[in-house]
Amino acid sequence: GFRPYSLSYSNKVGGNQSHVLSPSANYVTVARTALPAAPPFPIPSTPLQPQGRGEEKKKMNKKKIFKLAKGFRGRAKNCIRIARERVEKALQYSYRDRRNKKRDMRSLWIERINAGTRQHGVNYGNFMHGLMKENIQLNRKVLSELAMHEPYSFKALVDVSRNAFPGNKKMEPQKVGLAAVL
């Protein structure tokens, strides 16, 4: 095992000799034994001290925190300790949601395009495949705007897509609004 109190040195006569500290503080020579190898992991000098990783968190000053906490409810807008926590969490949410917003908008555009194409008897996947075959490079945002605000232009795109892809057979158009109920 590992002996924390052992001392090792090399003398002129030869070999390593180990001395173990006895309880009476006298050194006892052990016959020419080598110390055990170092453990496979480093032993920290101060085991309970946290290790510094990365940069330290920088504190914002009070003025900036209260400016960011404007509009918060309760003591979160005027008590610095609570405001600091709430502002930090708000910044985390905003970081996350700036990325989620891109996903949500793409999903919304796809839903709008799908609704527009189904009114003309084509589903979304076949419509996009037909546009790709015709090398029409309009992104989903523009296509959704056309589907909502320019129905005649969008119908022309649906017709081009239908002619380009033989799988785009004319389906029964999907009924919208009250027509679907009746």
| Segment 93-108 mean pLDDT | 97
Q: What is the pLDDT of residues 155-172, one digit of tens each?
A: 999 999 999 876 666 666
Helical segments of 5-79, H only: 62-68
User: Residue 100: is its pLDDT beyond 80?
Assistant: yes
The CATH number linked to 135 is: 1.10.1900.20
Among 159, 82, 105, which Cα is nearest to 127's? 159
- The answer to whether residue 55 sits within a structural domain is no
Asked if 159 and 122 sit in the same domain, the reply is yes
Give the model's confidence band at 33: pLDDT under 50 very low, under 70 low, under 90 confident, else very high.
low
Asked if 163 and 138 sit in the same domain, the reply is yes
- The answer to whether residue 160 sits within a structural domain is yes
Asked if 139 and 171 sit in the same domain, the reply is yes
Environment class of 144 (CB within 10 Å of its CB; exposed 0-12, middle 13-18, buried 19+)? buried
How far is the C-alpha of 124 from the C-alpha of 128, rounded, in Å?
6
Asked if 115 and 172 sit in the same domain, the reply is yes
- The answer to whether residue 8 sits within a structural domain is yes
Asked if 132 and 166 sit in the same domain, the reply is yes
Share above pLDDT 70 across residues of the chain, in percent, rounded to a whole number: 59
Torsional class of 47: left (φ above 0), alpha (ψ -120 to 50), beta (otherwise) = alpha
Q: Residue 130 is part of which domain span?
A: 104-176
Give the model's confidence band at 11: pLDDT under 50 very low, under 70 low, under 90 confident, else very high.
very low
- The answer to whether residue 122 sits within a structural domain is yes
Asked if 136 and 88 sit in the same domain, the reply is no
How far is the C-alpha of 182 from the C-alpha of 179, rounded, in Å?
5
Q: What is the pLDDT of residue 165?
A: 77
- The answer to whether residue 41 sits within a structural domain is no
Per DSSP bridges, beta strands 27-30 and 6-10 are: unpaired
- The answer to whether residue 14 sits within a structural domain is yes
Contact 65/83 with Cβ under 8 angstroms?
yes
| Domains contained in the chain, number | 3
Q: What is the pLDDT of residue 129?
A: 93
- The answer to whether residue 49 sits within a structural domain is no
- The answer to whether residue 11 sits within a structural domain is yes
pTM over 0.75? The answer is no
DSSP state letters, 120-171: TT--HHHHHHHHHHTT----HHHHHHHHHH-HHHHHHHHHHHHHH-TT-PPP
